[in-house]
A and B are shown apart, each in its own frame.
Chain A
Amino acid sequence: MIFNRHAVWAIYKFELARFRRTVWTSLITPVITTTLYFIVFGSAIGSRMQEVGTVPYGAFIVPGLMLLTMLTESISNASFGIYMPKWSGTIYELLSAPISAFETVLAYVGAAATKSVILGIVILATANLFVDIDIVHPLWMLLFMVLLAVTFCLFGFIIGIWAKSFEQLQIIPLLVVMPLTFLGGAFYSIDMLPAAWRTATLFNPIVYLMSGFRWSFFGKGDVSVELSLMAMFGFLTLCLAIVWWIFRTGYRLKS
């Protein structure tokens, strides 16, 4: 057997079944959150905001909202997916099954990334109810969505293996990713910041992801799209390298 497709498909289906069981809370939560953001940022604050470039503020924040939810959900879903078998002890079955590291990652990260992309589309559809959105590069937008979902699901997978408790599972998404996303231009252009802050913000990797994603919507971003793609592939490569090391050494998986 070169590729254990039955295993990949079985894990993928099993993980997605969890999403289906909680489909209403999984989908209604982002819909409500998006609606609240539009009430606050779109109507209450947005009406006093100028256009950002040539883009109305309501439309401007759509990529930011999608990115914010997709990053947190990607990390949360992927980390939970691999942490649960560790926590319940059923990881023994994964370790004793004829499944390679690549297949394991493909199944878990694939399932988590699928959920994230679905959520991203739901948010986009909800936002479309409030503002008109013309996507300049729709294929690039889809590519960015998939890349972002896969990359941050890999990051979540790493956190799930590293974590020894539910508390640790939450630390990085809450204390690192969420603040960096808010400060990474999710709701503003970094051009709106004072020069010193703008320079400081360029050290935030989320800025590059945000900028590239926004470029796919409006045709322009805070940094060049090439730089955004380099940052995204750089982070993806780093995550892949760490996952490869985890399976090679059995870090927190095997004795």
Chain B
Amino acid sequence: MSVLSISGLSKTYAGGFTALKSVDLEIRKGEIFALLGPNGAGKTTLISIVCGIVTPTAGTVIADGHHIQRDYRAARMKIGLVPQELHTDAFETVWATVNLSRGMFGRAPDPALIERILKDLSLWEKRNSKILELSGGMKRRVMIAKALSHEPEILFLDEPTAGVDVELRRDMWNLVRGLRERGVTIILTTHYIEEAEEMADRVGVINKGELILVEDKAALMKKLGRKTLTLNLTEPLAALPPELGEWSLKLKADGNEIEYEFDANAERTGVPSLLRRMSDIGLGFKDLNTEQSSLEDIFVGLVTERQEARS
């Protein structure tokens, strides 16, 4: 069942820059959806339109059955946003600013709920502190507390762990899982593959304003699991020996290197058997290294695949 339905969503800014090109996306109720993409891909624009911060050029967004422009009150009450930047009321207390957020979203004061949220986020002891006195990590927690204060059913986390330490990142992952258990749908944008791997049910990849693909995490992880083994040979080869035919190898660097691409998540990668076979036929190597594709490489690969599929 879809909780967020985006169709034909486009945005061209006044300066002429097109940030989104007719994006269609369905988010399922209760899932964690990771939106991946390089800087400037359109992730934040997409989120900003859904939340009402940016006006779309074309397209429609329905949040839990409510049109985000025609029925904006009902739609916005369902949505919470933790923006990428640390925007806070520096001179206000944690308690005041979180209560303000709840009121702004049309909810009656509920001190018990705010207390529970602050305790869940380890902010209770800091409730009377001014936000400017808090560390960066604590400010990030305040942003989350503000977004959760009106009990949203759809929560956007825009780069929630950018620039935070490992401990806070783990805390956030636990928090996100807890929210999902309570039925909250979560859409997060991230640069970190491990974040998507750890938490997401489905992953979408956006590049240059186009949604390139939407896949279940398992399928994408298979693509992301490709690694490359490079062997620097002791003697250059004119051609690959026929004994190595069962591995799809590439001879590179004027015959000085053998390159083997394999699936790191597979039960049998083929690496040990390849090395044994090379030893059996007396093919020596002086060095080896393995490389995993970076996220950027994967984006480029996906874009290329997409373009090839179109042509």
Contacts and interface: CB of A to CB of B under 8 A. Distances in A.
Interface in B70-87: 72-77, 79, 81, 83, 85, 87
Nearest to B83: A92
Given A1-B74, A96-B79, A6 B52 contact: no
Q: Which 3 A-B pairs have the closest CB atoms?
A: A10-B103, A89-B87, A98-B73
A95 B52 contact: yes
Given A6-B103, A90-B87, A95-B52, 8 more contacts: A1-B106, A7-B103, A84-B89, A92-B87, A96-B53, A97-B76, A97-B104, A255-B55
B69 to A, nearest CB: 12
A4 B106 CA distance: 6
13 contacts: A7-B104, A17-B96, A89-B85, A89-B87, A92-B81, A92-B83, A93-B146, A95-B53, A97-B104, A97-B106, A98-B106, A250-B55, A254-B55
Interface residues on B, range: 35 or more
A255 B48 contact: yes
B50 to A, nearest CB: 9
Interface string A82-113: 00110011101111111110000000000000
Contacts of A13: 103
Interface of A: 1, 4, 6-7, 9-11, 13-14, 17, 84-85, 88-90, 92-100, 250, 254-255
Contact of A96 (B55, B76, B96, B102): B76
Nearest to A90: B87
B87 A88 contact: yes
A11 B103 contact: yes
A122 B88 CA distance: 33
Contacts of A98: 72-77, 105-106
Contact of A6 (B14, B48, B106, B146): B106
Nearest to B75: A98
Contacts of A90: 87-89
A7 B100 CA distance: 8
Contacts of B76: 96-98
A14 B96 contact: yes
Contacts of B99: 10
Contacts of A89: 83, 85, 87
Contact of A99 (B51, B83, B104): B104
A96 B73 CA distance: 10
Question: Which of the listed residues B14, B73, B146 has the most CB atoms from chain A within 10 Å of its own CB?
Answer: B73
